[in-house]
Homo-oligomer: A and B are copies of this chain.
């Protein structure tokens, strides 16, 4: 959980400080608030991933916390709101990385590799947390067709395809379908990767990019174009 480690670090520190300081000086109030908010968010993320949005209850969330049920509503106005906050947060962490890739676009292959890598690493961060000792994987979300993260990927790719690739593609190229395909691959390969024992985002990204660019033809062993792309054979 690389992303959140940096966020949690200060928190752990302040926690230690508190123990050594007999009386919490001013400004602690603020920190406590931030800490509680973070704790609730983390708990909610875990619970939503574990049971899904509908099945998760606010009680589940606050029970994963040292706080009382009423406290939840000091930080979020509803179960819906915290879910939105989590989703937004995820998208907000992912999107700048994707944007960066698009802006420093050099060629399609490295662009795709960049965003696939970013997305797969994001997934690993997002759906894994340190449980009781060993790393346990949370069920990826089963409730939304497109998580905000997926939507971010979708939109970024759509932009990239439209902006950068337009000229190179046949004029009748179906940008929408291309985007749908690329995100479909990202989604499913990403899920598959999560279930593998040593999660290898690099390998997954390389696979995805190869397939997107060259199709199954690129995966054929010796004799490219033999059977895997028979229509081409017919054409010639």
Within 8 A of B (CB), among A140-161: 140-145
CB of B186 within 8 A of CB of A52, answer: no
CB of A214 within 8 A of CB of B211, answer: no
Which among A181, A189, A227 has the greatest number of chain B C-beta atoms within 10 A?
Answer: A181
Beyond A107-B230, A168-B226, 18 extra complex contacts between A and B, CB < 8 Å: A4-B67, A52-B143, A54-B54, A108-B229, A165-B228, A168-B220, A169-B216, A170-B219, A170-B221, A173-B221, A177-B204, A178-B219, A180-B185, A211-B215, A213-B231, A214-B217, A214-B229, A215-B217
A15 in the interface (beta carbon within 8 A): yes
Annotate A193-236 by CB proximity to B: 1 below 8 A, 0 otherwise: 00000000000100110111111111111000011111110100
Closest chain B residue, CB of each to CB of A21 = B6
Q: Given contacts A212-B215, A213-B215, are A180 and B191 in contact (CB under 8 A)? A: yes
A interface, CB within 8 angstroms of B: 1-7, 15, 18-19, 24, 28, 32, 35-36, 39, 52-55, 66-67, 107-110, 140-145, 165, 168-171, 173-174, 176-178, 180-181, 183-189, 191-192, 204, 207-208, 210-221, 226-232, 234
SS class of chain A's interface: helix, strand, loop or mixed?
Answer: helix
Closest chain B residue, CB of each to CB of A154 = B188
Min CB gap A169→B, angstroms: 6
CB of B217 within 8 A of CB of A213, answer: yes
In the bound complex, residues from chain B placing their C-beta under 8 Å from that of A217 are: 213-215
Contact of A52 among B54, B66, B230 (CB under 8 A): B54
User: What is the CA–CA distance of A210 and B215 in the complex, to the nearest angstrom?
Assistant: 8
Contact of A213 among B15, B107, B145, B216 (CB under 8 A): B216
Closest chain B residue, CB of each to CB of A1 = B66
